[in-house]
Structure 1
Amino acid sequence: MPVVDSDPTTQRALGYPPRRVVPPAAAKLRILATADRLFYDEGIRSVGIDRLISESEVTKATFYKHYGSKDRLILEYVKSRHRAEVAVTEQVIDQAQTPKDAVQALVAALVADIQRPDFRGCAFINAAAEFGDEGHPVRETVNEHRDWYTDTLAALFSRLGHPLPGDAADDFILARDGAMAGGYAGDAIAASTALQRASVRILDI
């Protein structure tokens, strides 16, 4: 999670103490964790503020102090999901020996995710489905996430020597989206196996 004050302790006037980096309040993190669980499991619009407050074990005043509205909490939920996926994806890529190993590790992580008992599909596609207005901040955040993911994959395929890295990234994401939707709505094993087959074809250059 980001800190409340992320400004580094540099460029301070002489004689003043360094600025202290303050972590987010425990209640704020608890509200976000509760929203993350409920929004993903049950849908964003179906979960009301009263339930969020009750299951977060905070007061209404505390909720509004930290988020001000459900809309702000929804946006932070999507942004926090993005930050988490960026961190995991970067770790997978950093630990891989080669770009091909990185792609295969990403596929393995997706397969493991799809086969979780509590898997409910892609959180970003789910969020986009609930907000039809393309200009809504949630949709804009989802689009930014998908642009980042596409660029990350295209860079991997480029390093791998693929002649059309952008096309390969688009093919991978299409297979990934289909596997996540099919894994939730249908047979998780069949969907994840199909994703593995598609990734082999994309890597076969």
Structure 2
Amino acid sequence: MKKKPIREIVLRTASRLFYQQGYSNTGINQIVEEAGIAKSSLYQHFRTKEDLLMAYLEDTGAQTTAALRKAADRHEQPRDRMLAIFNYLEELLKQPEFYGCRFLNIVYEMPHDNDRVRERIKVQKDTVRQLFTEILTPIQKEHLADEFYTLFEGALIGNKVHNAHWPIVSATNTLKRLL
């Protein structure tokens, strides 16, 4: 069996901890201990904790985009593609290990002036907006992309605040009415 590279072990461990307990509540010593590595090994790959956070955001961003595209690409019609994304989100929200949107969780923890992290999160969120625009363009409804993006984000926030399923149901029902 091939051993995983240390960078991957560190990133997977940090990703799990950042998501489960938050960036601020996760210390370098905990990451090192749970990854089973020497602290110097971590610093060979990530100069700072924020560098590790940036790798986490980039990695999880790619995974999120791929999952949304995969859900949409199972369908041909734009309406069905949009509904598939919202259905994917609904299934995600039902999972017991769902602790909220990884990007929103981090942005809430960041000081307002941490432009580096906020810009990385904005890139990811703009990728979702662009995906919606891309899906809606063939039916000349691209002007609704920001409205659907707001519904999508609102469902994530509503779920986190209320710890309930109704925000995604409401968002999906609104999407159906608008399309």
Cα RMSD, aligned residues only: 1.8
2: CA distance, partners of 1:42 / 1:187 = 17
Determine which of 32, 40, 52 is the counterpart of 1:73.
52
Aligned to 1:147: 126
Q: Provide, for residues 150-198 of structure 1, a one-character-per-residue CA deviation record: whole Å limited to 9, x for no partner.
A: 1110121122332xx23x1111121111211221221422122112212
Determine which of 121, 127, 130 is the counterpart of 2:109.
130
Aligned to 1:177: 153
The one of the two structures with greater contact order (alpha-carbon pairs below 8 A, sep at least 6) is 2
Aligned to 2:42: 63
1:202 matched to 2:178? The reply is yes
Q: CA deviation at 1:29?
A: 0.8
1:110 is aligned with what amino acid?
Answer: L
In structure 1, stretches of 5+ residues that fail to align are 1-24
Pairing 1:107-118 to 2, within 5 Å after superposition: 107-118=86-97
Q: Provide, for residues 32-91 of structure 1, a one-character-per-residue CA deviation record: whole Å limited to 9, x for no partner.
A: 111111111111111000001111111111111111221110111111111111222222
SS at 2:73 equivalent: helix
- Count of aligned pairs between the two proteins: 177
Pairing 1:21-170 to 2, within 5 Å after superposition: 26-134=5-113, 136-162=115-141, 165-166=142-143, 168-170=144-146
2: CA distance, partners of 1:140 / 1:121 = 20
Q: CA deviation at 1:135?
A: 5.2
Q: Provide, for residues 123-165 of structure 1, a one-character-per-residue CA deviation record: whole Å limited to 9, x for no partner.
A: 1111111123355211010111111111110121122332xx2
2: CA distance, partners of 1:153 / 1:55 = 38
1:156 is aligned with what amino acid?
Answer: I
2:145 is aligned with what amino acid?
Answer: A
1: CA distance, partners of 2:165 / 2:115 = 35
**What is the TM-score with the length of structure 2 in the denominator?**
0.91
**What is the TM-score with the length of structure 1 in the denominator?**
0.80
1: CA distance, partners of 2:29 / 2:160 = 28
Aligned to 1:6: none
Structure with greater helix percent:
2
1:189 matched to 2:168? The reply is no
Instruction: Provide the identity percentage.
Output: 24
1:109 is aligned with what amino acid?
Answer: Y
Alpha carbons of 1:187 and 1:133: their partners in 2 closer, same or farther (altered >3 Å)?
A: closer
